[in-house]
Chain A
Amino acid sequence: MRIRIHGADEIRASEITPERVYLDRRRFVERAAMLAAAAAVPPSWLACGPAAGRAEETTVAGREAKATKGRGIQEQDWTAVRSELDEPLTPWEDVTTYNNFYEFGTGKDDPAKNAHTLRPRPWSVAIEGEVGRPAVYDLEEFVSPHRLEDRVYRLRCVEAWSMVIPWRGFPLADLIRRVEPSGKAQFVEFTTLHDPDRMPGQRRGVLDWPYVEGLRLDEAMHPLTLLATGVYGRDLPNQNGAPLRLVVPWKYGFKSIKSIVRIRFTETMPATAWAVAAPREYGFYANVNPEVDHPRWSQARERRLGDFRKRPTLMFNGYGDQVAHLYAGMDLGRWF
């Protein structure tokens, strides 16, 4: 079993498989076997009973028996994993305790403190709009046709901090092909769960709930665009957008909508949450761009969590080779 993406010719394998692994053939074989094994095992929530849960433990932990002890994220050794730019991963601890998810409070540590109320199962996802096969899927049916992959992506927040995160998920393009959008579909709109009992932050009108995000269809079809169900080889923790979230690595983090319940194909550009809240500050595109400042702060540099000094922000967050063509001829200062 290999880790690869169909129809992604412009992406070098080194951008998906960690580079060190890619370069070292012997270790590549070992590592790829392990990652693929982990990815092929359904996440625990797809399991119907305790037996399936044990199977996962045996498969993954069994292969890693010599290297690790016990359960937890050590089931897989992530310490050597790097991004394609040879960046180390942001630790699990930081990824899962520091983020924005206003549905659970506006502080960076609020999601980790408050998201226990979410209850990510049972969960259903509605496919609506300009699409050949509209349906409401149970999460299991929604995810099970897809092979899950581990992908290491940079995440750049509009607030000028960033992380490197190993997501687990499948390309949104695969889903889109499966549901057959009609010729009229130009955009894809995503909606987060709206349930103030499970998302207490929604009791206050900080944003116009529910949270809505969107992509142009070609952006949604881009092989880098991921629907994630996990991080660090495990199911997504509630605070990171369980059980299903978007990851669009060349755009600011707020585009990567969490806890998705509806995916709608539309003819017109969706009204997205932050663009509605502050249209002067947040646009529909929200591509990472060091040359277009946020009206209140510079986007030229960012602080990678764990670093002391700021680093220059890369155009399209370092994914320009893959995505710049999507915006050829567009005035990115205007379409920020």
Chain B
Amino acid sequence: MSSSARRTRAAIKAVIWVSALTPATVLIWRATHGGLGANPIEEVLHQTGWWGLVLLTTTLAVTPVRRLTGWQAIIRYRRLIGLFAFFYVTLHLSTYLVLDQWFAWAYILEDIAERPFITAGFAAWLVLLALAVTSTRGSIRRLGRRWQRLHRLIYLAAGLGTLHFFWKVKADTREPLVFAALISVLLLARLPAARSLMARLRGRTAARVGREVAER
């Protein structure tokens, strides 16, 4: 790899790190400046869960973006974004276990077993845990083709996460429905028909760009 390509990669990774850590930094700043409102624990729960879903959706968007733009190298950053999604979902779960429940295990187990929205959220975290643990180079090598199949479960995690959000809200379902729509589109983009459509779109764009360059 050329040194300029290496620099580009490092720069893109830096941008991802900074962007992904910004919500957590803002949250810490608000927490230390009394800016979390009257119910700070609820606000931390909401923010960490929301950003977990945003980053999960972003992770799912990587492959469609690659197909649409032809930017092959983007795939290199997918794992990093996915791990940040896991980071926020883990913060979310920890906030629930520690700040919200203060390790009241009897209540926590009852919640997981009996409240469908918590069951769904916890299941989503378990799936993400399995994916995070097997995200290493070694695991990819060891698992071979099974790795790909395993990591398709990210759609399950995203679906469960959205369901968790949908079941939590009382009446205003707009935000969970937006996540559901985005995730559905990104899932549909995997279908062969959508893939060939994207390839055609890319081909046409590439051809047009080529023509425009030639005409100039």
A124 to B111 Cα, complex, angstroms: 46
A225 to B199 Cα, complex, angstroms: 67
Most buried by A among B38, B41, B168: B38
Could you write out 6 A-B pairs with CB less than 8 Å apart?
A97-B38, A102-B172, A161-B39, A296-B117, A303-B41, A305-B39
A275 to B117 Cα, complex, angstroms: 21
Count of A-B contacts judged by CB separation below 8 Å: 51
Q: Which residues of A contact B (CB under 8 A)?
A: 93-94, 97-98, 102, 106, 108-109, 159, 161, 206-207, 277-278, 296-298, 300-301, 303, 305-306, 308-310
Evaluate contact between B171 and A296: CB separation under 8 angstroms.
no
Known pairs A159-B170, A305-B38. 5 more at Cβ < 8 A?
A98-B37, A296-B115, A297-B111, A298-B111, A305-B39
Residues of B within 8 Å of A303, CB to CB, are: 39, 41
Evaluate contact between B39 and A296: CB separation under 8 angstroms.
no
Tell yes or no: B107 within 8 A of A by CB: yes
Evaluate contact between B38 and A108: CB separation under 8 angstroms.
yes
Tell yes or no: B116 within 8 A of A by CB: yes
Chain A contact residues: helix, strand, loop or mixed? loop
Known A108-B38, A109-B37, A308-B102: A298·B110 in contact at CB below 8 Å: yes
Min CB–CB distance A213 → chain B (angstroms): 15
Residues of B within 8 Å of A298, CB to CB, are: 107, 110-111, 115
Min CB–CB distance B45 → chain A (angstroms): 12
Min CB–CB distance A105 → chain B (angstroms): 9
Evaluate contact between B172 and A106: CB separation under 8 angstroms.
yes
Residues of A within 8 Å of B104, CB to CB, are: 310
Evaluate contact between A108 and B172: CB separation under 8 angstroms.
no
Evaluate contact between A207 and B37: CB separation under 8 angstroms.
no
Q: Mark B133-171, 1 if CB is under 8 A from A, else 0.
A: 000000000000000000000000000000000011011
Min CB–CB distance A327 → chain B (angstroms): 25
Most buried by A among B39, B104, B167: B39
Min CB–CB distance A192 → chain B (angstroms): 15
Known A109-B37, A305-B39: A102·B110 in contact at CB below 8 Å: no
Min CB–CB distance B119 → chain A (angstroms): 11
A277 to B171 Cα, complex, angstroms: 8
Evaluate contact between A296 and B38: CB separation under 8 angstroms.
no
Evaluate contact between B37 and A108: CB separation under 8 angstroms.
yes
A207 to B101 Cα, complex, angstroms: 31
Q: From B37, B42, B167, give the contact of A296 (CB < 8 A).
A: B167
A182 to B99 Cα, complex, angstroms: 52
Residues of A within 8 Å of B101, CB to CB, are: 310
